[in-house]
Structure 1
């Protein structure tokens, strides 16, 4: 079994969290090989002492070179290692390989929410998904919603799609201590006041501009308005800057960018509310991670998010007025926030990387057969 980890970004965003969680749960599984960027080889060697970890050519750090190597060098490596299955974890896969190929398609929003992507990205990923559905022996998706959308929109073969929910690492994402919360507050310069947390990429699909505008409407008249902290990797949503420019001077909005992994429990767990009013997700890992940190979550009932949140989160709409209404109601109801925090913490325990690994192993076994 060869897992291609060369698509993991330096900031270990969504695909990095997915692969780290999955591979970490396969630590005792024999017969696993991993090919990674050279900067990640030592990391995966420590994580998987039984695995054969191979460094890819240095050029794969650049996306065009990685995609070219995926079609040529990766199948050759799989043949050299004698892999019975090759797993591609991020939409694309080799078109020709000597062993069965499985691929993870993380979401169908390039089809359901096309207006939230630029033309080049939308065209590339639509083509990649269609190709993977045709070529891969098995397609792995992180939610039933994603499976159903692929079947509905692309007439995908349901007998070749396997659902494997993501998990959450309880050591990395946990209810933080007061010292962990204080460390993050000090690092961000937050002081003692309440704040709302957003964690994710700055992509149009994440709906950050409407979150900012909804927050302004909800808190601008409050005597002690909570700050809004927009954390996460860089993105391409220019509308965020326009929304930031509209924020009244007496409100605090912080954009610290990428936070250290060790700071995430303190950041999420120290927030009054974790807000994630996305237009649609293939899974919604930030929602699950906030729940695991004991934080009440406000999100939307779009696509997979109800599969993750269930009755343990609060739901809102996608426009600023609805976000403002539901956010203010949550801020003014401390008892409900406590109830949601407890329910979210309990529900998060149902999503484990061990269960995800088991589902992947079953899909790989089907592919090998």
Structure 2
């Protein structure tokens, strides 16, 4: 089994988190792994995967066009030299003439269902490659049943060739934070009082402007902390400019991975009013960290949150009411925090790895 980790970004977000969690779980499950990665990631994967054979891709593939060109020619050659029986491409794209079965992960259907929430160039790229992989890959993997269902509906996917592998949560990393972890987050943020937390890239589908306006409509609320990359949603800046002087809005950018449990678990409420997710990992990680979570019922989010989170419609007035109710009800918040921890425990990276191994076996057999 050869896994192509060359698409992992430098900040290790998104596909990076998925690959970095999946590979050790596959190793633990006994998979016979070979991993190809970019040269600057070799030391990282040596620490993460002791004993696994690592192959370094050419140094010149750091830019996406070069990586995609190498994927079509160099990756199949490398896979054959490694005598791989299956190739896993974990981020939409795949070699068109690889000479061996390919499994491709399709993380999200919102490029089809919510095209207005994506940059046009990204929308064209990912819809095209999703259709290619659904047609050419031996198997495709999605992180939720909702994503598979949407791909069947909008992209003509054959459900018999698409496998669901729910993502997991690392309980050693995401847990009810200690006093020291809480203090470290507060010192980093320079914030002694309570706060509503958000974690994610500030892009249109995260619905952050509606969250800002909903929170702004509250009387004397806790601070609002928007953690994550800036993304490309210009409406966030416009909404932030309208925040009353009586309110405190913080945008600290990326937080270190080791600080996330403290950030999520210390929040009075974690608000994630997304307009659509392929899975919704921040919701799961907040639940595991003991936070009461407010999210929406759109696409995969109820599949993750179940009855252990509070729900709202995605418009600002509805979010205002839902936030106000949660902030005023400590008993309800405690109930959600306990239910969230219990539900999060059922999402395990080893179970995710086993679902991948089933898909690999089916691809090899086909």
Q: Same fold (TM over 0.5)?
A: yes
Contact 1:196 1:274 in 2 (8 A): yes
- Secondary structure at the aligned position of 2:47 is classed as helix
- Secondary structure at the aligned position of 2:6 is classed as coil
Once residues 231 and 133 of structure 2 are traced to their aligned partners in structure 1, the CA distance between those partners, rounded to angstroms, is 26
Q: Deviations over 1:36-88 (max 9, x none)?
A: 12222112122222311111122222111111111111111101101100001
1:156 counterpart = 2:152: no
Q: 354-363 or 68-77: which moved more?
A: 68-77
Contact 1:196 1:275 in 2 (8 A): yes
Q: Deviations over 1:99-146 (max 9, x none)?
A: 100100001000111110121111111101001101100000000001
1:186 counterpart = 2:182: no
Once residues 85 and 73 of structure 1 are traced to their aligned partners in structure 2, the CA distance between those partners, rounded to angstroms, is 16
1:347 counterpart = 2:343: yes
RMSD, matched Cα: 0.9
Q: CA deviation at 1:30?
A: 4.4
Which residue of 225, 232, 236 maps to 2:232? 236
1:78 counterpart = 2:113: no
* Number of residues of Structure 1 aligned to a counterpart in Structure 2: 364
Partner of 2:196: 196
Partner of 1:104: 105
Contact 1:14 1:285 in 2 (8 A): no
Contact 1:11 1:233 in 2 (8 A): no
Partner of 1:127: 128
Contact 2:7 2:15 in 1 (8 A): yes
Contact 2:270 2:293 in 1 (8 A): yes
Which residue of 292, 298, 303 maps to 2:294? 298
Unpaired runs of at least 5, structure 2: none
Once residues 172 and 154 of structure 1 are traced to their aligned partners in structure 2, the CA distance between those partners, rounded to angstroms, is 36
- Secondary structure at the aligned position of 1:27 is classed as helix
Q: CA deviation at 1:166?
A: 0.2
Question: Which aligned runs of 4 or more in structure 1 are off by greater than 3 angstroms?
Answer: none
Unpaired runs of at least 5, structure 1: none
